[in-house]
């Protein structure tokens, strides 16, 4: 009892301390009235930070706190005489990115916990788990003296080749928005702020700074903005980060439509907007559009803003508003409250949170003859480079500097498995030699992957004599600046294919199982090789505790309950955007036209009956579940409806089930995808035979489509079907209801319309 109390008190301590210091206040209007034009113009421009490792190019400004957290992504301008401190901002989204060793201090380290990538977190479909991850990351942010973390990132998985998909959640806006909202709530509950990014339609890395995204109003509202809308309305992030790209001809950071009409007027966002690093072109247009802070900031931007005010090109009232929005947030920040951070977050406890989250988001894609969990098999042959060299996460600003990581090799040994030693040594020697040959890694860039080692069949044969099970890991890494390639990335290369083929032939000849493990950040092709293996476990890039979590799932200590929040197609050409990604020319496209409109991911596959390899919402368990009948509280829709059904664990292991609710709308005037996800729930851990009743509330918004002609969300009159199932293709229970009359659910501002008529895109 006493220990429990102590642990709770310890966890709450930072919040209590922050609250105690929160009686400091800032009268924003009064402060702004005292500011000079120069101070205002500096307040809206960041204090340009050095790139990690690079020498300081400009001397720190007196009174600034540029070195409070050296090498963080950026900071804001301080005006000590007006009691305005500098806020420090640093990256996410897989944890806090700061430099672990500081030149000026050899006595301490500043490691952060590398959590699983966003795509894995979304695969948990578990908002309380994600909220707890957010809370844990938030504690590291607070305790390392950072005010705002630049996360979560919530662009949609429009195409599997986007190099930063690992930082993003899903192809579906409901999963994206609800998981992001849970993350923001968890992070901000510690007293720090977030910046949800990259707002908006930033779905590729190729020419990201200038690409002109041509997209219909309907696809924007229903897909590319929707996740942001949900996150803003549910979780009130302190800040937003505009993206690099243009939408329909205008840089997002210079778009009044996006940042004022939609974000502030339609969604009632109260925080401030910052640019992505060096994003957009014209500081004056950015101020006018409502992009309040230019990051990381260059002194010339302040000059341009000052001159524009002086010559009348920028109304001082606009600048005052930009400043006020920033000061409002500063007044809530740990820096303003003088929070005494410890530089000592409890990394040991946080590692446990990372381990639990990793195991919860792993997805079991195939499990022939219940190959998994391993039963009495203890002697394993571990193939594949990334079995020994875990890919923790992706590269670029989303990379975390963790103190250690647990490889699959270590995770399995720690869990009591014996690994074939000759194979282990072969890999460890090979990896050491190949790493020595690698060019020095370029900061922020994706390292060239070490080619998969080719292993002769007779060697595999010898290994198979003793080992009981073969595990083959396929690894992939990607990151900022570049999109992925098809050959040797989306598709397996010939050595990988050969490895799977040979291991499969040799082990199966001895009636021994082969398990494939996917240590990847984005979707790959599985169709050509999946028949060769008995089970496939998708572990994503699982964070620093990946190997331990992997062993938890392999051994059955954790029953996998993750499901795909993104479709695995049979082949790349099946992806609806495959013809127009990354744009008009493959290397340096000027524009990209989202011709597929709203038919992204499962919305396309299910409507046009294109069979995916593994569909959206899919994932197996070590147990089975049965779905009862769905009950609606009425079959006439008034203001809302409730759908209820009971799930029973009919198998032999305890497990959790993700229950998915889709709606098929009449789609008469506005064509609609065959079905769309409108709700989901995850049961608690159900023992064999146990049941849980889940219920969903269906609102008018869930029935509506965005009608560009009326600039409104419209719910068409007619018959709707509620489809509840274990994936988007595996519907277990249905019910229908009627909406007697059309409803105009919401009338909005006309905004972001493409200049050319691309009505035909609004399929």
Residues within the interface to ligand BGC (CB under 6 A): 73, 91, 150, 197, 276-277, 397, 480
Return the number of the residue (277 or 594) whose C-beta is nearest ligand BGC. Answer: 277
Which pairing describes strands 743-747 and 212-214: parallel, antiparallel, or unpaired? unpaired
Supply the minimum distance, in Å, between the C-beta of residue 144 and ligand BGC.
Answer: 16
Which pairing describes strands 712-715 and 640-649: parallel, antiparallel, or unpaired? unpaired
Which pairing describes strands 239-242 and 193-199: parallel, antiparallel, or unpaired? parallel
Task: Find all residues with CB under 8 Å of 235, minimum gap 6, and list them.
Answer: 180, 181, 182, 184, 185, 188
Supply the minimum distance, in Å, between the C-beta of residue 397 and ligand BGC.
Answer: 4
Return the number of the residue (481 or 572) whose C-beta is nearest ligand BGC. Answer: 481
Supply the minimum distance, in Å, between the C-beta of residue 685 and ligand BGC.
Answer: 36
Return the number of the residue (91 or 545) whose C-beta is nearest ligand BGC. Answer: 91
Nearest to 546 by CA among 475, 623, 488: 475
> Rounded distance, CA 564 to CA 195, Å?
26
Task: Find all residues with CB under 8 Å of 652, minimum gap 6, and list them.
Answer: 623, 688
Catalytic residue among 147, 172, 276, 702: 276
Q: What's CA 553's distance to the chain center, in Å? A: 22
Supply the minimum distance, in Å, between the C-beta of residue 350 and ligand BGC.
Answer: 21
Return the number of the residue (209 or 699) whose C-beta is nearest ligand BGC. Answer: 209
- 399 CB neighbour count, 10 Å cutoff: 18
Supply the minimum distance, in Å, between the C-beta of residue 154 and ligand BGC.
Answer: 11
Contact 192, 141 (CB under 8 A): yes
Q: What 8-state DSSP symbol labels residue 264?
A: I
Q: What 8-state DSSP symbol labels residue 145?
A: T
Return the number of the residue (395 or 623) whose C-beta is nearest ligand BGC. Answer: 395
| Active-site residue, 624 included | no
Return the number of the residue (133 or 150) whose C-beta is nearest ligand BGC. Answer: 150
Supply the minimum distance, in Å, between the C-beta of residue 236 and ligand BGC.
Answer: 20
Integer angstrom CA distances of residue 579 from 491, 594, 607: 17, 10, 18
Integer angstrom CA distances of residue 566 from 186, 335, 488, 546, 615: 24, 39, 21, 21, 8
Give 531-559 as a DSSP string.
GG-SEEEE--S--TTHHHHHHHHHHTSS-
Nearest to 202 by CA among 181, 224, 184, 175: 224
> Residue 509: is it exposed, middle or buried by C-beta count within 10 angstroms (0-12/13-18/19+)?
exposed
Supply the minimum distance, in Å, between the C-beta of residue 294 and ligand BGC.
Answer: 13
Return the number of the residue (195 or 623) whose C-beta is nearest ligand BGC. Answer: 195
- 38 CB neighbour count, 10 Å cutoff: 12
> Rounded distance, CA 737 to CA 637, Å?
7
Return the number of the residue (198 or 264) whose C-beta is nearest ligand BGC. Answer: 198
Contact 577, 159 (CB under 8 A): yes
Supply the minimum distance, in Å, between the C-beta of residue 396 and ligand BGC.
Answer: 7
Catalytic residues: 276
């Amino acid at each position: 009892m006493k220990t429990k109390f102590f642990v709770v008190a310890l966890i709450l301590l930072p919040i209590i301390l922050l609250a105690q210091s929160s009686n400091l206040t800032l009268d924003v209007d009064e402060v702004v009235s005292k500011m000079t034009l120069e101070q205002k113009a500096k307040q809206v421009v960041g204090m340009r930070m050095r790139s990690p490792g690079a020498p300081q190019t400009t001397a720190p400004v007196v009174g600034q706190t540029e070195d409070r957290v050296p090498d963080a992504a950026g900071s804001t301008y301080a005006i000590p005489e007006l009691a305005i401190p500098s806020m420090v901002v640093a990256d996410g989204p897989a944890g806090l990115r700061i430099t672990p060793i500081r030149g000026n201090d050899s006595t301490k380290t500043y490691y952060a916990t590398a959590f699983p990538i966003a795509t894995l977190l979304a695969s948990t479909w578990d908002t309380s788990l994600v909220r707890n991850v957010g809370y844990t990351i938030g504690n590291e942010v607070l305790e390392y003296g950072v005010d705002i973390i630049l996360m979560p990132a919530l662009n949609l998985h429009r195409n599997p080749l986007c190099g930063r998909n690992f930082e993003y959640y899903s192809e579906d806006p409901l999963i994206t928005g609800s998981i992001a909202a849970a993350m923001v709530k968890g992070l901000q509950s510690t007293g720090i702020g977030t910046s949800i990014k990259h707002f908006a339609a930033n779905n590729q890395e190729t020419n990201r700074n200038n690409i002109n995204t041509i997209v219909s109003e309907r696809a924007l509202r229903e897909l590319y903005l929707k996740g942001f809308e949900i996150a803003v309305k549910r979780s009130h992030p302190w800040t937003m980060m505009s993206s690099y790209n243009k939408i329909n001809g205008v840089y997002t950071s210079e778009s009044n439509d996006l940042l004022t009409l939609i974000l502030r007027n339609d969604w009632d966002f109260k925080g401030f907007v910052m640019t992505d690093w060096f994003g957009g072109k014209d500081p004056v247009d950015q101020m006018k559009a409502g992009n309040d802070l230019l990051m990381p900031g260059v002194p010339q931007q302040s000059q341009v803003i000052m001159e524009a005010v002086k010559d009348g090109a920028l109304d001082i009232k606009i600048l005052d508003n930009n400043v006020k929005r920033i000061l409002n947030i500063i007044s809530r920040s740990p820096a303003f409250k003088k929070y005494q951070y410890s530089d000592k977050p409890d990394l040991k406890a946080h590692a446990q949170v990372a381990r639990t989250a990793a195991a919860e988001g792993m997805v079991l894609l195939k499990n022939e003859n219940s190959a998994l969990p391993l039963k009495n098999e203890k002697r394993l042959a571990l193939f594949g480079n990334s079995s020994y060299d875990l890919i923790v996460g992706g590269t670029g600003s989303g990379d975390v500097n963790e103190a250690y990581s647990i490889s699959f090799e270590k995770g399995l040994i720690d869990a009591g498995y014996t690994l074939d030693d000759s194979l282990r040594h072969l890999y460890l020697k090979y990896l050491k030699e190949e790493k020595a040959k690698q060019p020095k890694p370029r900061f922020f860039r994706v390292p060239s992957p070490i080619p998969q080692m080719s292993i002769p069949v007779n060697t595999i044969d010898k290994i198979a004599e003793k080992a009981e099970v073969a595990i083959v890991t396929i690894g992939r890494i990607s990151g900022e600046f570049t999109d992925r390639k098809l050959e040797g990335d989306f598709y397996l290369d010939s050595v990988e294919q050969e490895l799977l083929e040979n291991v499969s032939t040799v082990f199966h000849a001895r009636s021994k199982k082969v398990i494939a493990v996917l240590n990847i950040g984005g979707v790959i092709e599985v169709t050509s090789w999946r028949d060769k293996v008995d089970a496939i476990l998708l572990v994503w890039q699982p964070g620093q505790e990946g190997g331990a979590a992997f062993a938890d799932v392999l051994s059955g200590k954790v029953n996998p309950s993750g499901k795909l929040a993104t479709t695995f197609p049979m082949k790349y050409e099946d992806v609806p955007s495959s013809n127009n990604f990354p744009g008009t020319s493959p290397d340096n496209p000027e524009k990209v036209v989202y011709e597929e409109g709203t038919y992204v991911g499962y919305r396309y596959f299910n409507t046009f009956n294109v069979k995916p390899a593994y569909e959206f919402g899919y994932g197996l368990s070590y147990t089975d579940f049965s779905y009862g009948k769905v009950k609606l509280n009425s079959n006439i829709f008034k203001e809302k409806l409730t759908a209820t059904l009971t799930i029973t664990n009919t198998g032999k292991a305890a497990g959790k089930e993700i229950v998915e609710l889709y709606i098929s709308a009449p789609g008469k005037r506005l064509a609609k995808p065959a079905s769309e996800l409108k709700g989901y729930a995850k049961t608690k851990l159900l023992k064999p035979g146990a049941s849980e009743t889940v219920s969903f509330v269906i609102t008018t918004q869930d029935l509506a489509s965005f009608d560009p002609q009326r600039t409104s969300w419209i719910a068409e009159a007619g018959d709707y079907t509620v489809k509840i199932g274990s994936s988007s293709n595996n519907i277990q229970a249905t019910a229908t209801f009627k909406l007697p009359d059309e409803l105009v659910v919401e009338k909005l501002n006309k905004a972001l319309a493409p200049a050319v008529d691309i009505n035909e895109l609004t399929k």
